[in-house]
Chain A
Amino acid sequence: MFREGENENRIPSGCAISGIFSKKGERISGESIIKSISVMHDRSNGLGGGFAGYGIYPEYKDFYALHIFYDTQAAKDECEKYLERCFEIVNLSKIPIKKTRKITNEPLIWRYFVYPLPVRLADSHLDEDEYVVRRVIKINSEIKGAYVFSSGKNMGVFKAVGFPEDVGEFYRLAEYEGYSWTAHGRYPTNTPGWWGGAHPFAMLDYSIVHNGEISSYDANRRYIEMFGYKCTLLTDTEAITYIFDYLVRRMGLTIEEAASVVAAPFWSTINKKEPQEAERLKYLRNIFSSLLITGPFSILLGYTGGIMALNDRLKLRSMVVGERGDRVYMASEEAAIRVIEPDLDRIYAPKGGQPVIVKLNDDVKI
């Protein structure tokens, strides 16, 4: 079995992505996103599918929801001992699944709602998020057979080896409701048998679904690893997730600014801007030059209260955006939008490097 990151294997892949967002914060059933991604069946090859839903755990919205894969009972025991040392565990359970013949060899899949032990948090001199990030990285890199694949508040990632529509059914996503959903179908160029390699990839509440193979990977990876991240999977998506976590949460950039770092405008474009704007863009490109991403990508970045669609600067991957009322749809193909909303107010293909950012309306509380 080929596992990403093991023996330093790096696996390129093609993909399909889709997203739905309600600006009013209306809770949308997971059924819609399954229907949308299933249209693009041929863009995946059954070796990875997954979803991220936001606003799905309103009853536990103040706690970090850790979704963890375990290869063995021993890994689970070890990891839980570690979790107990770091966190107050408010609730733990198996993630409910529906056995199907299409999804096989599943690991143990558990969910924990936690918050950092106050004394340990105070001792660490870290903020809550950073405390959680460090624990997640530690589990993923040091506890063999345990893998945290979701760690945000009031959101969750669900992924597996299989076609995305089967993965959705397996995780019974029709039973969840959220204001924002993203989905991914994967077409890796070899045969990973490991569930952690599927998308979305998430850190805290930032989740990424991604279609593409970035040519800047090792430049990005070696830079971001300076700041404590460990790109153990050697996948683009993992690196992109860390880049956004670093730029937005740790450096304090806005999502828009982060977009103009990873898909920076060409110098020829910057030179045509007003002097103040040109200086701003030049500044961002200069100080974060190692986080520029080149090569084809289309990504959906989900985060609490918003979603961003972004293409590489040359638009080497397809991506369309549709709007209807308060709903915004983003997908690799128009068909994936039309199948759930045939009657759109507007549909367009964003330009390369132009972020499409959609946020909850100001009056919405989730």
Chain B
Amino acid sequence: MPINFIHPEYEVIRDFNKCIKCRVCERQCSNEVHKLDPDHNIMTADDSKCVCCHRCVSVCPTKALKIVKSDHTFKTNSNWMPETITEIYRQAESGGVLLSSMGNPKPFPVYWDKILINASQVTNPSIDPLREPMETKTFLGAKPNKIERDKDGRLINNLPPQLELTLPIMFSAMSYGSISYNAHESLARAARELGIYYNTGEGGLHEDFYQYGANTIVQVASGRFGVHKGYLDAAAAVEIKMGQGAKPGIGGHLPGTKIGSDISKTRMIPEGTDAISPAPHHDIYSIEDLRQLVYSLKEATEYKKPVIVKIAAVHNVAAIASGIARSGADIISIDGFRGGTGAAPTRIRDNVGIPIELALASVDERLRAEGIRGNVSLVIGGSVRSSTDVVKAIALGADAVYIGTAALIALGCHLCRSCHTGLCNWGIATQKAELVKRLNPEVGYTRLVNLITAWRHEITELMGCMGINSIEALKGNRLMLRGIGLNEKELEILGIKHAGE
């Protein structure tokens, strides 16, 4: 056997004084880290298998376990970092592309954290959300650019189809396949309870979930998995997925091992085959082709449902969005480079695309400069982590946000970033029945409702501070924001002033 060059990144620390050898860690760890050594009657751990998902830590009844980052070190080097060296070992051994999951973990600037929010003092009053109405209702969809009246002078409702949300947050696209049945059920039920929408991702819609159709956005992606008339009819809106923030420019790959009978039926592909989404849509090689797909879907749904076009935030995103705004799309969704994924080539996830804050600011400004901001609504995602990120996104110009990672964390995800292994100990990113059942949809949906309810409270508090009692008065209200520690160019792109100005 060749020498293994890779030292475990994390170590399992067990307090033997506390360990009662109940072996729950052993039973619960799908990565098979823990084992009882029968000869010595002690629990052992194989650190090399640990992904740091905290399942064992959480279920240990005596709190005997913790996971720590190994202090094992390479000889110090500011150029050749341990991670870089380890990745080379792995590739030298396997000859393969490095795979990763969830969002870009690299230390790129997080602009949300360099933006501060305003509050009213003296010249206008702040508003107490406990005493005054505080409105967060949001509509998504194109707005007509003229009004029409009937012969009696009454306004005619000439609105194209709209999505109505109780607050500007939606659950972003995560396919059945990349996440579990129970995770989907939790999202669907929470969306219905909250009066918002969840998104099927590109994996089709399980027949059990048609009942949540009024709160469902269905996706049409390059693989066209699970797309049929009933699927489109079931939904409130249809999203064309052109790109994903975590892996702009490439498609997707759900390995055959995850394509069991249910997923095979939902995706409309044979059991056990790999589900490969091509990098581009092969019927869309340019903007005029996109327009044809937008209108094909509108024809298929009789112009009753908004069509969303989702793109990854890339360098030329403003021009691309401007083209989409003229393509008949009702809503543009932009996914930033910190957005999550069930699996992506590491190099792409960590190096391709741009931060959503900059993409949002430049798209919103560009659409306004061209006078077409009213043609489309703008939904952004790609690492919206808290209610303040939501407020900052709306003030920069978004109509609403998509949250994916935050929703999964609410369901119990510990961001171990190992979704691609399919061994999710929390029952989220797995198709193994014994793991899936660990996520109770009743509990999951309650936790999602709690999270969004908590964020709603915080959003209305922040609005009250600013003296704003309706979310639409926050949209694009960039004077409510100030940058901190940003250079002139960054401020210019974000369209905000520096703190103190």
Contact = CB atoms under 8 A, between A and B. Distances in A.
A286 interface: yes
Given A266-B133, A295-B467, A290 B472 contact: yes
B139 A251 contact: no
B55 interface: no
Interface string B149-180: 10000110101001000000000000000000
Interface in B225-239: none
Contact of A313 (B137, B469, B478): B469
B124 A12 contact: yes
Interface in B333-392: 368, 371, 373-374
Interface stretch (B140-148, B263-271, B281-289, B300-308): B140-148
A97 interface: no
Given A268-B133, A290-B475, A296-B125, A215 B120 contact: yes
A314 B469 contact: yes
B442 to A, nearest CB: 30
A295 B144 CA distance: 27
B436 interface: no
A292 B469 CA distance: 10
Given A313-B469, A314-B127, A314-B132, A218 B147 contact: no
A316 B125 contact: yes
Given A213-B124, A286-B139, A289-B139, A223 B467 contact: no
B476 A218 contact: yes
Nearest to A287: B143
B466 interface: yes
A215 B466 contact: yes
A215 B468 contact: yes
A292 B470 contact: yes
Given A215-B467, A268-B133, A316 B155 contact: no
Nearest to A215: B467
A225 B155 CA distance: 25
A219 B147 CA distance: 22
Contacts of B371: 226-227
Nearest to B123: A12
Interface in A1-28: 8, 10, 12-14
Given A12-B123, A266-B135, A286 B477 contact: no
B497 interface: yes
A189 interface: yes
Interface in B474-491: 474-480
Nearest to A317: B124
A52 B469 CA distance: 32
Contacts of B155: 257, 280, 283-284
A267 interface: yes
B473 to A, nearest CB: 3
A32 interface: no
A337 interface: no
Interface in A301-348: 313-314, 316
Contacts of B466: 215
B426 to A, nearest CB: 38
Nearest to B364: A222
Nearest to B469: A294
B450 to A, nearest CB: 24
A212 interface: yes
B473 A216 contact: yes
Which range holds the interface residue count of chain B?
35 or more
Contacts of B374: 226
A328 to B, nearest CB: 25
A263 B473 CA distance: 11
Nearest to A289: B472
A215 B373 contact: no
Contacts of B139: 286, 289
A22 B371 CA distance: 40
Interface string A250-286: 0111000100000010111000000000011001111
Interface string B190-226: 0000000000000000000000000000000000000
A293 interface: yes
Given A280-B155, A289-B139, A314-B132, A219 B477 contact: yes
Contact of A219 (B127, B144, B472, B501): B472
Contacts of A179: none
A279 B158 CA distance: 12
Contacts of A223: 368, 373, 476
A201 interface: no
Count chain B CB atoms within 10 A of each CB in A8, A251, A268, A294 and give the residue with the most.
A294
Interface in B445-501: 466-470, 472-480, 497, 501
A313 B133 CA distance: 10
Nearest to B124: A213
B477 A283 contact: no
A217 interface: yes
Given A283-B159, A289-B472, A212 B480 contact: no
B42 to A, nearest CB: 63
A189 B479 contact: no
A128 B146 CA distance: 20
A314 B470 CA distance: 12
B399 to A, nearest CB: 9
A11 to B, nearest CB: 10
A185 B275 CA distance: 70
Contacts of B477: 215-219, 222
Given A226-B371, A251-B146, A253-B147, A296 B124 contact: yes
Contacts of A252: 146-147, 149
B480 A294 contact: no
Contact of A8 (B124, B470, B497): B497
A294 B473 contact: yes
Given A219-B474, A283-B159, A290-B475, 9 more contacts: A8-B501, A10-B479, A220-B473, A226-B374, A253-B147, A280-B155, A285-B472, A295-B467, A295-B473
Interface of A: 8, 10, 12-14, 189, 212-220, 222-223, 225-227, 251-253, 257, 264, 266-268, 279-280, 283-287, 289-290, 292-296, 313-314, 316
Closest 5 CB pairs of A and B: A216-B473, A218-B479, A215-B467, A289-B472, A219-B477
21 contacts: A218-B476, A218-B480, A222-B397, A222-B476, A223-B373, A225-B368, A266-B133, A266-B135, A267-B133, A280-B155, A286-B143, A287-B147, A287-B159, A289-B139, A289-B475, A294-B470, A295-B124, A295-B473, A296-B124, A314-B132, A316-B124
Interface of B: 120, 123-125, 127, 132-133, 135, 137, 139, 143-144, 146-147, 149, 154-155, 157, 159, 162, 368, 371, 373-374, 397, 466-470, 472-480, 497, 501
